[in-house]
């Protein structure tokens, strides 16, 4: 007798170490953006820039690496490859600032990059929600013996210097409050549109 578990509806979240990039230069570029107009989207307090100019020299290596890593992910997922990053913006969360649950509509893949030299504990983890969270919460959320990829309703990642995360744009996520006084939590978010 044989049996197997089929992993249907798997949610891929890819993490990438890009700490070899010139982070000082990229972080400095991000911090300069605080002098521009903030927009309000998922941010609860904090600064969110408008779309930044992706042709800036300081962003070139970062963009190239993100596109290469996205292409590798698309190969793995057997999805058509986006040719470019469509938009990118800077988020700066000061003490108490957070981002509420949201998705990035009309995109294929989205991601975030952490350009600062270090990120203290409790500066705001990114927290993903299981696609069936709202149904599972009733019947599965009291039944886990250990949390696994099959039964976890949420998954959290702490920001790491120079790391990027790429995930499906339909995946609901939020950023927990930055609980560090006097620490600016800098991140860069981006979207890649689907191929027409
Ligand atoms: Fe987001």
User: Cα of 13 to ligand 1 centre, how many Å?
Assistant: 13
Say what the pLDDT of residue 37 is: 84
64 alpha-carbon distance from chain centroid: 17
Average pLDDT, rounded, for the chain: 96
* C-alpha of residue 104 to centroid of ligand 1, in Å: 6
Per residue in 62-96, pLDDT (tens digit) is 999 999 999 999 999 999 999 999 999 999 999 99
Closest to 102 measured CA to CA, from 166, 41, 173, 6 = 173
Q: Please state which architecture CATH assigns to domain 14-192.
A: Sandwich (2.60)
How remote is the CA of residue 3 from the centroid of ligand 1, in Å? 39
State in Å: Cα 102 to ligand 1 middle: 6
pLDDT digits (tens, 9 = 90+) for 4-38: 999 999 999 999 999 999 999 999 999 999 998 88
Between CA 26 and CA 30 the distance in angstroms is 6
Distance 182 CA to ligand 1 centre (A): 23
**Rounded alpha-carbon distances, angstroms, from residue 111 to 2, 29, 103, 134:** 40, 19, 11, 23
Ligand 1 center to residue 2 CA distance, Å?
Answer: 42
Measured in Å, residue 110 CA sits from the centre of ligand 1 at: 7
| 103 CA distance to ligand 1 middle (Å) | 6
Is residue 161 a contact partner of residue 114, using CB atoms and an 8 Å limit?
A: yes
Ligand 1 midpoint to CA 138 (Å): 26
Task: Report the SS3 class of residue 156.
Answer: strand
Interval between CA 144 and ligand 1 midpoint (Å): 28
Q: Lowest-pLDDT range, 34-48, 104-118, 164-178? A: 34-48
pTM: 0.96
Q: How far is the CA of 5 from the centre of ligand 1 (A)?
A: 32
Torsional sign, CA 67, 72, 76, 79: positive
Nearest Cα residue to 69 out of 55, 82, 59: 82
- For the chain, what are the domain ranges? 14-192
Tokens describing residue 130: 């299981």
């Amino acid at each position: 007798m044989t049996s197997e578990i089929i992993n249907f509806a798997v949610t891929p979240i890819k993490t990438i170490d890009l700490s070899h990039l010139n982070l000082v230069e990229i972080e400095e570029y991000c911090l300069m953006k605080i002098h521009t107009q903030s927009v309000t989207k998922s941010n609860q307090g904090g600064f969110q820039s408008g779309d930044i100019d992706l042709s800036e020299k300081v962003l070139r290596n970062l963009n190239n690496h993100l596109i290469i890593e996205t292409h590798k992910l698309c190969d793995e997922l057997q999805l058509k490859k986006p040719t470019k990053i469509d938009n990118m913006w800077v988020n700066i969360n000061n003490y108490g600032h957070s981002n509420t649950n949201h998705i990035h509509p009309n995109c294929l893949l989205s991601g975030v990059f952490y350009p600062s030299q270090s990120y203290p504990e409790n500066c705001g983890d990114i927290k993903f929600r299981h696609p069936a969270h709202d149904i599972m919460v009733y019947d599965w959320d009291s039944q886990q013996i250990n949390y696994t990829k099959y039964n976890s309703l949420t998954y959290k990642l702490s920001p790491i210097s120079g790391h990027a995360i790429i995930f499906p744009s339909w995946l609901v996520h939020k950023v927990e409050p930055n609980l560090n006084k006097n620490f600016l939590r800098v991140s860069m978010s981006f979207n890649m549109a689907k191929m027409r």
